[in-house]
Amino acid sequence: MLRKNPSGFSPEVSEKAFIDPTAIICGRVIIEDNVFVGPYAVIRADEVDDNGDLEPIIIRRDSNIQDGVVIHSKSGAAVTIGQRTSIAHRSIIHGPCEVGDDVFIGFNTVIFRTHVANGCVIRHNCVVDGMDLPEQMHVPPMTNIGPDFDLSRIEQVPPDYSSFSESVVAANHWLVEGYKKLSNELS
Protein backbone atom coordinates (compact mmCIF):
# COMPACT_ATOMS: atom_id res chain seq x y z
CA MET A 1 0.00 0.00 0.00
CA LEU A 2 1.36 3.38 -1.00
CA ARG A 3 0.37 6.23 1.31
CA LYS A 4 0.88 9.97 1.51
CA ASN A 5 2.38 11.29 4.76
CA PRO A 6 0.99 14.24 6.80
CA SER A 7 3.50 16.61 5.11
CA GLY A 8 2.00 15.78 1.71
CA PHE A 9 4.80 13.57 0.33
CA SER A 10 3.83 10.45 -1.60
CA PRO A 11 6.18 7.56 -2.45
CA GLU A 12 7.96 7.54 -5.81
CA VAL A 13 8.18 3.92 -6.95
CA SER A 14 9.72 2.75 -10.20
CA GLU A 15 7.37 0.82 -12.46
CA LYS A 16 10.17 -1.77 -12.63
CA ALA A 17 10.04 -2.42 -8.85
CA PHE A 18 7.77 -4.90 -7.10
CA ILE A 19 6.00 -3.95 -3.87
CA ASP A 20 4.09 -6.77 -2.18
CA PRO A 21 0.43 -5.76 -1.64
CA THR A 22 0.83 -6.24 2.14
CA ALA A 23 3.80 -3.85 2.39
CA ILE A 24 3.29 -0.24 3.49
CA ILE A 25 5.29 2.51 1.78
CA CYS A 26 4.53 5.88 3.31
CA GLY A 27 5.70 9.41 2.59
CA ARG A 28 8.93 10.64 1.09
CA VAL A 29 10.24 7.28 -0.12
CA ILE A 30 12.06 6.76 -3.42
CA ILE A 31 12.27 3.19 -4.74
CA GLU A 32 14.36 2.60 -7.87
CA ASP A 33 14.31 -0.07 -10.61
CA ASN A 34 14.29 -3.80 -9.85
CA VAL A 35 13.76 -3.37 -6.11
CA PHE A 36 11.82 -6.13 -4.35
CA VAL A 37 9.82 -5.16 -1.25
CA GLY A 38 8.49 -8.29 0.46
CA PRO A 39 5.36 -9.07 2.44
CA TYR A 40 4.61 -6.93 5.51
CA ALA A 41 7.61 -4.64 5.04
CA VAL A 42 7.12 -1.07 6.25
CA ILE A 43 9.08 1.84 4.76
CA ARG A 44 7.89 5.02 6.39
CA ALA A 45 9.24 8.56 5.86
CA ASP A 46 6.87 10.76 7.80
CA GLU A 47 8.61 12.38 10.79
CA VAL A 48 9.96 15.92 10.34
CA ASP A 49 12.80 17.77 12.06
CA ASP A 50 12.39 20.89 14.23
CA ASN A 51 12.20 23.05 11.08
CA GLY A 52 9.49 20.88 9.50
CA ASP A 53 11.95 19.38 6.99
CA LEU A 54 12.07 15.74 5.90
CA GLU A 55 14.85 13.92 4.04
CA PRO A 56 13.88 10.96 1.84
CA ILE A 57 14.30 7.26 2.38
CA ILE A 58 15.95 6.01 -0.81
CA ILE A 59 16.15 2.37 -1.90
CA ARG A 60 18.62 2.10 -4.77
CA ARG A 61 18.23 -0.22 -7.77
CA ASP A 62 18.46 -4.01 -7.59
CA SER A 63 18.10 -4.14 -3.80
CA ASN A 64 15.67 -6.23 -1.79
CA ILE A 65 13.74 -5.43 1.34
CA GLN A 66 12.50 -8.76 2.64
CA ASP A 67 9.50 -9.86 4.69
CA GLY A 68 8.72 -7.82 7.80
CA VAL A 69 11.59 -5.32 7.42
CA VAL A 70 11.01 -1.87 8.94
CA ILE A 71 12.80 1.19 7.55
CA HIS A 72 12.05 4.45 9.34
CA SER A 73 13.82 7.61 10.40
CA LYS A 74 13.87 9.84 13.45
CA SER A 75 13.19 13.54 13.00
CA GLY A 76 13.26 13.54 9.21
CA ALA A 77 16.83 12.24 8.86
CA ALA A 78 17.90 10.59 5.61
CA VAL A 79 18.09 6.85 5.04
CA THR A 80 19.77 5.44 1.96
CA ILE A 81 19.99 1.77 0.99
CA GLY A 82 22.59 1.22 -1.75
CA GLN A 83 22.46 -0.83 -4.93
CA ARG A 84 22.32 -4.64 -4.90
CA THR A 85 21.83 -4.65 -1.13
CA SER A 86 19.79 -7.23 0.78
CA ILE A 87 17.94 -6.43 3.99
CA ALA A 88 16.81 -9.81 5.36
CA HIS A 89 13.61 -10.72 7.15
CA ARG A 90 12.47 -8.69 10.18
CA SER A 91 15.48 -6.35 10.24
CA ILE A 92 15.14 -2.73 11.31
CA ILE A 93 16.98 0.10 9.56
CA HIS A 94 16.42 3.31 11.49
CA GLY A 95 17.75 6.67 10.35
CA PRO A 96 19.80 8.55 10.32
CA CYS A 97 21.51 5.77 8.42
CA GLU A 98 23.30 4.95 5.19
CA VAL A 99 23.83 1.43 3.90
CA GLY A 100 26.21 1.11 0.96
CA ASP A 101 26.19 -1.01 -2.19
CA ASP A 102 26.45 -4.82 -2.17
CA VAL A 103 25.67 -5.10 1.56
CA PHE A 104 23.93 -8.05 3.19
CA ILE A 105 22.08 -7.45 6.48
CA GLY A 106 20.91 -10.66 8.16
CA PHE A 107 17.68 -11.62 9.88
CA ASN A 108 16.52 -9.56 12.90
CA THR A 109 19.43 -7.13 12.71
CA VAL A 110 19.06 -3.51 13.85
CA ILE A 111 21.02 -0.72 12.16
CA PHE A 112 20.81 2.82 13.64
CA ARG A 113 22.85 6.04 13.43
CA THR A 114 25.55 4.55 11.25
CA HIS A 115 27.11 4.27 7.82
CA VAL A 116 27.62 0.72 6.60
CA ALA A 117 30.18 0.89 3.77
CA ASN A 118 30.10 -1.11 0.55
CA GLY A 119 30.42 -4.88 0.60
CA CYS A 120 29.75 -5.46 4.31
CA VAL A 121 28.03 -8.61 5.54
CA ILE A 122 26.20 -8.24 8.84
CA ARG A 123 24.86 -11.58 9.98
CA HIS A 124 21.65 -12.36 11.89
CA ASN A 125 20.60 -10.86 15.24
CA CYS A 126 23.20 -8.06 15.26
CA VAL A 127 22.95 -4.47 16.44
CA VAL A 128 25.04 -1.70 14.89
CA ASP A 129 24.35 1.61 16.63
CA GLY A 130 26.46 4.74 16.42
CA MET A 131 29.60 3.31 14.81
CA ASP A 132 30.40 3.36 11.10
CA LEU A 133 31.59 0.17 9.43
CA PRO A 134 34.35 0.36 6.79
CA GLU A 135 34.13 -1.59 3.53
CA GLN A 136 34.03 -5.38 3.42
CA MET A 137 33.50 -5.99 7.15
CA HIS A 138 32.03 -9.35 8.21
CA VAL A 139 30.01 -8.97 11.42
CA PRO A 140 29.41 -12.39 13.04
CA PRO A 141 25.94 -13.41 14.26
CA MET A 142 24.66 -11.81 17.48
CA THR A 143 27.36 -9.09 17.57
CA ASN A 144 26.51 -5.76 19.17
CA ILE A 145 28.55 -2.85 17.84
CA GLY A 146 28.42 0.55 19.50
CA PRO A 147 30.65 3.63 19.80
CA ASP A 148 33.27 1.88 21.98
CA PHE A 149 33.48 -1.36 19.97
CA ASP A 150 36.96 -2.41 18.79
CA LEU A 151 36.55 -2.93 15.03
CA SER A 152 39.91 -4.74 14.86
CA ARG A 153 37.99 -7.74 16.24
CA ILE A 154 35.99 -7.91 12.98
CA GLU A 155 37.40 -9.68 9.92
CA GLN A 156 36.99 -8.96 6.23
CA VAL A 157 34.20 -10.67 4.31
CA PRO A 158 35.25 -14.17 3.19
CA PRO A 159 34.73 -14.88 -0.56
CA ASP A 160 31.96 -17.43 0.07
CA TYR A 161 29.84 -14.78 1.83
CA SER A 162 30.24 -12.37 -1.09
CA SER A 163 28.96 -15.03 -3.49
CA PHE A 164 26.08 -15.80 -1.09
CA SER A 165 25.10 -12.11 -1.05
CA GLU A 166 25.19 -12.02 -4.85
CA SER A 167 22.95 -15.10 -5.03
CA VAL A 168 20.37 -13.46 -2.73
CA VAL A 169 20.28 -10.37 -4.96
CA ALA A 170 19.88 -12.56 -8.06
CA ALA A 171 17.06 -14.57 -6.46
CA ASN A 172 15.19 -11.41 -5.50
CA HIS A 173 15.70 -9.91 -8.96
CA TRP A 174 14.06 -13.05 -10.36
CA LEU A 175 11.18 -12.52 -7.86
CA VAL A 176 10.67 -8.94 -9.08
CA GLU A 177 10.32 -10.18 -12.64
CA GLY A 178 8.10 -13.13 -11.65
CA TYR A 179 5.73 -11.16 -9.45
CA LYS A 180 5.49 -8.31 -11.99
CA LYS A 181 4.56 -10.87 -14.65
CA LEU A 182 1.95 -12.45 -12.34
CA SER A 183 0.38 -9.09 -11.49
CA ASN A 184 0.10 -8.33 -15.23
CA GLU A 185 -1.63 -11.67 -15.80
CA LEU A 186 -4.11 -11.02 -12.98
CA SER A 187 -4.97 -7.48 -14.10
Q: What is the pLDDT of residue 178?
A: 85
Class of residue 125 by CB neighbours under 10 A (exposed 0-12, middle 13-18, buried 19+):
middle
Give the integer Cα–Cα distance in Å for 106 and 161.
12
pTM for this predicted structure: 0.93
pLDDT at 151 over 80: yes
Structural domain count of the chain: 1
Measured over the CA atoms of residue 144, residue 145, residue 150 and residue 151, the dihedral's sign is positive
**Could you give the percent of the chain with pLDDT greater than 70?**
98
Mean pLDDT over 43-52 rounds to: 94
CATH number at residue 172: 2.160.10.10
Mean pLDDT of 16-44: 97
Helix ranges restricted to H, the chain: 159-186
Give the domain range for residue 63. Answer: 2-186
Q: What integer pLDDT is reported at residue 176 of this predicted model?
A: 81
Whether the pLDDT of residue 144 is over 80: the answer is yes
- Structure confidence at residue 186 (pLDDT): 63
Residue 187 binned pLDDT confidence (cut-offs 50, 70, 90): low
Which of these, 104, 108, 109, lies nearest to 119 by C-alpha position?
Answer: 104
Reported as a single tens digit per residue, the pLDDT across 100-135 is 999 999 999 999 999 999 999 999 999 999 999 999
Check pLDDT > 90 for residue 174.
no
List, for residues 69-107, the tens digit of each pLDDT value: 999 998 999 999 999 999 999 999 999 999 999 999 999
